[in-house]
Structure 1
Amino acid sequence: MKRITMLISIFLLAVMVFTGCQTNQPQNPSDVPIPDEQVDDVNDEEDEEENIRDGKKEIYGIFYGYDEDKADILILDPSIHGNNPILMDEARVFFSDKEMNSLVKLWVEVKEQRIDVYDAEMADEATTVAKYIGFADSNFAEFQILDNPFVVQVPSDLASSLENINTNELLEITIIPNAIEGGNTVLKNVKRGS
């Protein structure tokens, strides 16, 4: 009798241990509990990113490169005068591995003689007003914002639209990133000014 009681006890203990282990195991990786201090770290990083962007002007640009903290970025906002924006820490980290001709969204402070870039991310498209200079060749057109010329790739369906436009005419253009890394941005849409 003692043996049967002992076997039943061992069996019940094994069932309890097995059942207990099954209920404590997460069903998939997203169910893994995160310790409170790690949750706080994630929330602090999100708050810090919001604080960096908070109160900053949101603009678009085409990134060409940088040297130390000065960036070569064509600002696509004709109301902002300034060359060689200064990259703050977060922006410098972001641009450290970006290719030339990257279309970017920037969070900046515009000061009298300079632009401080606090943060950045890749942009899907940007719209601006630019002066049409003319075709650089059959696949590329040159535009100018303030005194800054730049070249965009022109898809064949938009090339005929540009042929009917006078040089030095102000146009509203929308550009998108090139599918080829490092390639010129691509003209998506063009409208004559009203």
Structure 2
Amino acid sequence: MTEDPYALFAEWLAEATRTEPNDPNAMCLATATPDGRPSARMVLLKGHDARGFVFYTNLESRKGGELAANPHAALCFHWKTLTRSVRVEGRIEPVTAEEADAYYASRSRGSRIGAWASRQSRPLEGRWALEKAVAEYTMKFGVSEIPRPPFWSGFRLLPERIEFWRDMPFRLHERRVFTADGSGWKTEALYP
């Protein structure tokens, strides 16, 4: 097994991309409320490299507010067909405006309009209210370019700990954890 957790993650994600029927990049994002209560939801990984793991959201959403108040989070990937998972913990930083613009521009037109129309995490009076907002923004932008909303951007989780878990017979699973030590990664096996 490699000593580079980013390379190992890339291998596992590539394998999941070939075997998972839906959203191999789906991950559970765990944040904390200002009073310390855990909060988790599924989001999609939109980029990863040696700088960290990137996802995008409405900054005014619940997760956006929680990350602004406490810039630490955890991710959990679970690939059922591979019987593997990866847990990542670390500090959060915003992506650059250029990164957010580039990713936003790559989204479908409907998704870009949806970013404007959704008041993510706030009460919805009825489905008609969302559909009305979509229609209004569709008319507003017409055939012109749809700019990235000022309240929509991304975050990068900067890993401090990455754990790889693999199912093994008799529930004697394989667990390997990588911990950032300032000059690289310390790695060790854990009991299942």
Please say which structure displays the higher CA radius of gyration: 1
TM-score normalised per structure 1: 0.24
**Which protein, 1 or 2, shows the higher relative CO under an 8 Å CA cutoff with sep ≥ 6?**
2
TM-score normalised per structure 2: 0.25
